[in-house]
Amino acid sequence: MAVIDIISAILALMSGIGIFLIACNMMSSNLEAASSQKLKKLFAKTSSNKLMGVGIGAVGTAVIQSSGATTVMTIGFVNAGIITLYQAATIIYGANIGTTITAQIVALGMFGKNAISSTAIFSALVGIGAFMLMFSKKQRTKTAGGIIAGFGMLFVGLSLMSGSMETFAAQDSIKTFLARIENPILLVLVGAILTAIIQSSSVMTSIALAMLVSGLISLNQGIMLTLGSNIGSCVVAVMAGMTSGKNAKRTALIHLLFNCCGVFLFLIAGWVISLVSSGGISFGSIFEKIFPGVPQTQLAMFHTFFNTTTVVLMLPLTSALVNTVKRLIPDTASDIEEEEGFKLHYLNDNILMNAPVAVGQVKNEIRRMAGIAIENTDKAIETITTLNFDNLKGFKEKEEELDFINKALVEYVVRLSSRKGLSEKDKIYLSTTFRTVRDIERIGDYAENITEYAYNLKESSQTFSQMAKQEIADLKEKLDLLYQKAMEAYVNEDFSALNEANILEEEIDDIKDKMEENHIQRLGQGICTPTVGAQYLSLSSNAERIADHLINVAKSIRSLHNQNQ
């Protein structure tokens, strides 16, 4: 009979872990969708301020309920060059604080064993969330239902795990075996290995809580398992870092060293406390006195205390940690060559871990692409008016980069569009990016056309008249203003900027018509030749088309506005 009970308990434990993991994933994806705009703004505020980085990591992890996702996303930002190693370190510190929220939630669910338990109350949320998911037609309600159902499933999984632990606790042989495992190093290793296998420190901590409440392990044993889970949680970051660039590997190593240092410091501190008190005081006894009679709270509070204290201790040493990692993983000649190649600046595979944030980075990449296109346009116009071809240094390389971004960005957006956690607005935005990217790429093509007209002028040994040059300068000034307003409208979804951009585009149309009229007059007066006139008219026509493509980019925000109606 005991064997059957143990097998049933093992199956219940596996079921509980599975449901808990699904619940975490369900909550994470729906929380990302619900808070996508806030997450984008949050991670856009990365700065060199230590506390800002810690706050971003803590809040971001608390929101999406996954320190692993936050860390992998941070690795993606570092790999893309969006943030520095220093900034990444502080975000990782904050992620370690944010992840303690899950343990607090689980501990809360273990109260009320004699009356209606909080686990039973919270588990009922699964039904409420399921009804919202099944019968609501509004996306926001469905997302809220997913969050509620996921939250409830956390406690269903917890209930199964706790029940299995009670079965184990009834077996004297198991209790005796676990009681013999007192070596702190061994317990830390067990916690680290199990967490690495499960790939979730939240699940490992929850198992430790369930074992503690059922009497299978002591508080000190639970503390050591929790310390080990912090080391094991680094496996996700290490795996992400190994498949990315040099800075990504450094970020993963920062995460590993930070967590290992924290565990090491607490092990030493625990040993010193035990030595001074002749074994009478330990972290377990301290927290038992602070929170008497509630073992689940004792362990959850230690988890929060440990992670917060580690951050406080390591924060002043961040620069030293970053420099150490740079020495351990130095730059090589091949790394420098790799950096020199074309790449998406704001996007990579790691950022896909958080789809809503990746959407914000797509917008940044498009803004960068537009900047390259207008830079080439300015160079081309300056060259055709001065016939100084030194201005075209780097022009061809920038044009090749535009072609690369065009292809790479479209492929990335296709992959991103299939990810979970995207809001309806995000999906509509991504659908508009294909045309936007094409519009910007066409601006680059027209800039290239203008350089060809410049070469034609040079071959004919002719140049524009002073009047024509002034008209071109006026046209260029309007184009630059239009670019600024179009980007302001596009990035900020600013309809007042869009209205200004529309006015500028109409003014460019008028300038183009006026240029044609003036050209005919100069041609009749003999000031301009047909050869020069052909290049002049082609230039004005291309400039008008560039303006059309810029206004197309700005007008794409109308799709988002219509979606919100």
Q: Are 207 and 101 in contact (CB under 8 A)?
A: no
DSSP-assigned letters across all residues of 7-50: HHHHHHHHHHHHHHHHHHHHHHHHHHHHTHHHHHHHHTT--S-H
Instruction: Give the DSSP letter of residue 439.
Output: H
d(CA 149, CA 23): 8
- Regions in the chain scoring below 50 on pLDDT: 1, 114-116, 336-338, 564-565
Q: Are 239 and 260 in contact (CB under 8 A)?
A: no
- Residue 111's alpha-carbon distances to 5, 210, 295, 305, in angstroms, are 25, 12, 10, 21
Q: Are 22 and 126 in contact (CB under 8 A)?
A: no
- Residue 383's alpha-carbon distances to 20, 201, 475, in angstroms, are 64, 60, 14
Give the number of C-alpha atoms closer than 13 A to the C-alpha of residue 129, restricted to the C-beta side. Answer: 21
Residue 36's pLDDT is what? 56
Helix/strand/coil for 295: helix
* Residue whose pair of structure tokens reads 């950096």 in the numeric block: 339
**Tokens representing 335?**
């790394």
150 alpha-carbon distance from chain centroid: 22
- Residue 557's alpha-carbon distances to 75, 441, 496, in angstroms, are 30, 19, 12
Closest by CA to 102, choosing from 296, 245, 376, 252, is 296
- Name the burial class of residue 285, with classes exposed (0-12), middle (13-18) and buried (19+) by CB atoms within 10 angstroms of its CB: middle
Which stretches of 135-291 are assigned E, i.e. beta strand? none
Helix/strand/coil for 113: coil
- How many residues comprise the chain? 565
d(CA 111, CA 114): 9
**Tokens representing 493?**
């979804």
Closest by CA to 438, choosing from 476, 405, 392, 416, is 405
Q: Are 188 and 178 in contact (CB under 8 A)?
A: no
d(CA 57, CA 278): 39
Q: Give the Cβ contact number of residue 10 at 10 Å.
A: 13
Which residues have C-beta within 8 Å of that of residue 203, sequence separation ≥ 6? 17, 20, 21, 24, 195
Q: Are 251 and 329 in contact (CB under 8 A)?
A: no
Closest by CA to 60, choosing from 522, 285, 460, 52, is 52
All structural domains of the chain: 2-328 (no CATH), 349-564 (1.20.58.220)
Extract long-range pairs of 54-57: CB within 8 Å, 24+ residues apart.
54/90, 54/91, 54/93, 54/94, 54/97, 54/311, 54/315, 55/94, 56/91, 56/94, 57/90, 57/91, 57/92, 57/93, 57/94, 57/95, 57/96, 57/97, 57/98
Closest by CA to 300, choosing from 190, 219, 182, 187, is 219
Closest by CA to 304, choosing from 142, 134, 61, 475, is 61
d(CA 472, CA 374): 15
**Tokens representing 332?**
């090589």
Per-residue burial over 137-149, b = 16 or more CB atoms within 10 Å of its CB, e = otherwise: eeeeebbbbbbbb
Per-residue burial over 228-249, b = 16 or more CB atoms within 10 Å of its CB, e = otherwise: bbbbbbbbbbbebbeebbbbbb
End-to-end Cα, the chain, rounded Å:
64
Residue 114's pLDDT is what? 44
**Tokens representing 265?**
């410091």
Please give the single-letter amino acid code of residue 495.
Answer: F
H or E element: which one contains 68?
Answer: helix 67-80
Residue 279's pLDDT is what? 63
